[in-house]
Amino acid sequence: MRQRSPKALLKIRFGQRDLDRIHELAVKNQDDALTPTERADLESYLRVSSFLDLMHAKARRSLTKHT
């Protein structure tokens, strides 16, 4: 597997369609109106978001170490 540069990792983000869906699910969650499928979708988005946050933090750390 080819390694990505830290700068390339920092460019990985959710697309606008995903951001819109996350917002929709978050609003429904606040209203306690999620279906079980929607709850699973929101949990999946949150897991991916946490993973991206971790990868971004590691990439930023790597960039500050090498500059």
pTM, full prediction: 0.84
Tokens representing 6 are 């830290």
Asked whether the predicted pLDDT for residue 7 surpasses 60, the reply is: yes
What number is the average pLDDT over the span 13-18? 98
Round to whole Å and give the CA distance between 59 and 51: 12
Question: Taking the domains of the chain in order of start, what are their residue ranges?
Answer: 6-65
| Chain position carrying tokens 């990985």 | 12
Q: What is the mean pLDDT of the chain?
A: 93
